[in-house]
Structure formats: structure tokens, C-alpha cells
Structure 1
Amino acid sequence: MAPPPVQNKERATKTPIGRRSLLLSTVALGAAGALGATGCGRVPTGDTLARLTSQRTVRLGIAGEAPYGYINDRGDFTGEAVELAKVIFKRLGINSVQPVATDFSSLIPGLNSQQFDVVSAGMYINKERCAQVIFADPEYQMLDSFIVRRGNPKGLHSYQDVARAGARIATGAGYAEIGYATAAGIPEKEIVILQDPVAGLNAVESGRVDVFAGTALTGRAVVKKSRKAEATQPFAPLVDGRKVIDGGGFAFRPTDTGLRDAFNVEIHRMKQSGELFRLLRPFGFTESEMTTLTAEELCS
């Protein structure tokens, strides 16, 4: 995804506010304990995979976002990224996955300051992030979509449409969609930043904004029960005249190449067998969103 300006952050689908608040509160003490155990800012030396295998636990940075990582109606941690992490890390000899929730924009800083061992939040792989962390190859690819009023009265199907119409646009803090909107000529100061797609849906339904920009998966999930809003057809954002197709994957500290490489071996096996799609499908992913893109391609 085209990186937004450095002061901005990124995208994702969030749970309804009540459940997201519960998620953040239930793991706050766990995150603090993890910091105390590792020492803030001190990077453990040695083989991280061996250390995690010995500990039999991996701390997983998530953003409390459905369908990637969230608390379900039964109070269980789940989501595409959480369930995928459970499968792969168990195969690497690590039986326990401990989700640690934070704001999306804090995931990479938290990873590099030892709050958790890996980030698994549907994070898009782009050049800006690749300068800070290393990524496994993406488990999915994704197009964008808008949440708009039913009937799409302003005919908004691209960021260029929004710019031409002078429509009011919103997105989430740190979403890559900020960069896509500015690339289309929308001044950044005019982009409304909201907590999550649920807040975006509410803003569209109430008429405070004309459009909330997010991923296609976000759009179709959030509007399911809405009588006032709908999601537009998926589209590839245009940046410098080029269509952009994004891919999301797990992020690791730059020193943890061994852990990342071992993870990559397993995810490629799952892709080849079809197991990856079978795992992601219950969370709303379609077969067209499976990908052969690599982290190297997306980083460049």
C-alpha cells in the first residue's frame, strides 16, 4: 500500500467499540507484565525462535480489529491473524499464543520495544514499514472500498471521485487510505480521522461525512446490518497513475530473520495445500484475495 505521510498510521477493520474497549482493558496488564519481564528497550540476544520454543509462548501484537484479531461474543480471542498464528507457531513448537492489544499505530513501535514478539494485525506491507521491520510473505491481498449512504448518491467509486465531488471523506488513524486520498489531490487537513470503521459507519449514516475509506473486507463486513449505508465495489487505488494492490502479513523485528524464515516455510506450505484459504474463509476472505505476492515485491 502506498505509505501515508510519516505522521500518519494505517488501516484495518475494528470490532464494535464496546468489545474493542474490553479487549484493550483485558490485555493491558498482560502487556505491562511483558514489558517488565523483558525490560523496556533492551533487545534480547540470541536465537529468538529457540527462545520462544523454550518458553512455549509467543506474544502476538494485535489491534483489536475484526476480522484480524478480536474478542468474539463468547469472550475468546480469535480472528484471521490469531487463528493463523496458533496453527503456524504450534508447528514451530510454540503451543501458546498470547494476544497483546494496542492501537494500530503503536504496533511497530511496540514490536521494536519488546512489548510483543510478532505483529499479526492484517498489516499492509509497504516500503515505509519495511524500513522498520521485516515481513513474512503476505497471507492475503486486498483492494479498497468505500462505506457510503445507500444508493451512493454522490457516485463515489474512487479517491479521484471524492476529490472531484469535494465530498467529505473519513478514514482511520494511520490507515494507508490517508496516503491514497492525498495522492488523489485531497488535502490531508480535510480528511476526518476516526477511531475505527464502526465509527466511520456511524459518521456516514448520520451524514457527518460522505464516505469512509477502508479495505474491501472492512466495507462488506461493517455494513452487513446497516439499513442506511452500503459498501462500494472493490477498487485498486491509483498512485502516480499506477493501480496499487496491497498485501497484509506478519511483522517481525529486523534481527529475527530466523523466526521470519521459519514462519514463511509454514505459510507457503499452507498456501500450496489450500489450508490457508480454508482457515481465512470463515473470516470473510474470498478466493480472489489469496495471493502469490511476496514481501520483497511489496517492500519495493
Structure 2
Amino acid sequence: MALSAEDVDRFERSRPHLQAIAYRLLGSAGEAEDLVQETFLRWQATDVDRIEVPEAWLTKVLTNLCLHQLTSARARRETYVGPWLPEPLLAGDPMLGPADTAEQRESVSYAVLTLMERLSPSERAVYVLREAFAYPHREIAEILDITEAASQQNFHRARKHVAYGTARSDIDRAAARRIVEEFLAAATSGQTDELVRLLTEDATSIGDGGGKVPARTTAFEGAVAVAKFVWGMFKPAQAKRAIVGGLPEVYAWVANGEPAVVAAVEGRVVAIMCLEVTAGGITACRTQANPDKLERATEQWAAADHGEPLLGL
């Protein structure tokens, strides 16, 4: 069915909102774009004049597409090589969506996106719609075809699973740069004691190479173990350069609202390490090195004024 220019424009006005929902639900920018496009095709195939509230209809269609995707993704991840981490987005990416409230910023943090993997698809959908976009439970129930009571129960369960006891602070570019600079100085000092000082006692480090880049299959746990690993990671080595196809340059940035170490080779982002920072120190280092999950970051990086690197490996 052919859409009028007004109907196409109506969808395009909703696209950023839909992409932000889909990314939070899936943890994948590529999959989010695909399902938003599928939503457009369904919008194109329906009699839009009969739709009373277009945004509600579009949100319902998209969310249910994402629920189906999440269910099949769980089966795919059983055969995924190594740990699975979300696709990180660099600061300024419109797919990060609204960031006006602490809840919105927290819901798209790399830490919370990772923790949301613990949730069932329905719990994740309720959590995202309620926490990040402030949908009332009545509307969430209509979107998911459940009762209001079930929506509330799913939300409370989700918050319990996602919550963790250490408070995160909002990070701007300047603060992130200071944190990353201190982290890199410690990592390249030749003394793991400096790194241990920056880490919490129960710090962890985990990486996602997707079977395409070498990555440990289990997390490093504890400040000493993480410090030794990080020290080795930032030690210049010819073998590392061969793996990533050149000499990596290291920058301080922000990804998903967290301080991030960005490694790039000739403008191509080859790794992003997100640092989860709490009042007690750095409590987690999560590194995305799967090239399939860094394509959008590379596009954003090319358009960014990232200045001079802090380090060359």
C-alpha cells in the first residue's frame, strides 16, 4: 500500500524514538535498525488512516518484533564464541536516545545493558518502556498484551535483577578523560599496584571477541587479577598489532555514558573498553572487540573531533 508523504514523514518523526527503544531492548544497533525498518514495512502495509494513535501502534509493533528477536537471540547466544556483550555506542550517537533523567541515562549505560541480559524478554521490555521512556503500566500492558498487574510485577522483578548496590555518577567528557588518563597512566606504569589502587576489591574484567578476536572465555575477577590483565593488555606488542591490523592509537572517550578507552587503527575502531566507575573505584572493565559490533562506532568516530591519542600501542 502506497503511503502519502505525510504518512512517511509521520513515521520518520518516530524513527529516533523507535531506534532508541530497540537498541535498549536488543543491545545491538544493527538489529535495532533492521527491526525499525521492518516496523516501517508493516506501517506501509496497513491502512494508516484507521490507526488512531500512530506512535502507540508503532511502539507496539516494534516492541513485539524485538521480543521475538530476543527469544531467538537467546538460542543463538548458546553457540556464540566466548562472552556476549552489547554493542557500545559513542557519546553523541542519536540511538542512545533521551538522557534528560538519571533513569534514562542509567538504562542505556553499558553496565545496565549487560545486566539486562539476565532478564526474560518480557521483563526487559517492561523495564525499558517504564524506566527509560516513562510509559505508564496501562500502556505497557496494551503494548505487550498483558495485564497491568503483570506489567508491574515484571518491572519490580526486572529492577531487582538489574539493581546493584554501588552508585554510579554521571560522567561528562572532561571527567571521563581524567578517569581514562589516570587509568592508562597506571596501566602503562609497569607497576600493577597503581592499577589495584584504582580498582575495587571485587573488580571484574570481561571481553567480547565474538570468535574473531582472541578473548578470554571467562572473566578476570578481583583487583589483582584484573590489574595484571590490564597491564598486559596495554603493554606494546607486535602480536597485538598483527591481530588488529596495525598500530592502535588509544583515546579517552565516553561510550553509553561511561568513561571509555577507544583503540583505533587508521580511523577504524578496533576495541572499546567501558569502565564502570563507582564511588569506591573502577568496578568493571568491559571490552568490546568483535569487529561486527564496532561498525557503527567506527562511523561515529570518523565524524568526531577526537583530537590526539593518549597512547600508541
Structures share a fold, TM > 0.5? no
Computing the radius of gyration from Cα coordinates, the structure with the larger value is 2
Question: TM-score, normalising length from structure 1?
Answer: 0.25
Structure whose residues are more often helix by fraction: 2
With a CA cutoff of 8 Å and minimum separation of 6, indicate the structure with the bigger relative contact order.
1
State the TM-score, normalized to the length of structure 2. Answer: 0.24
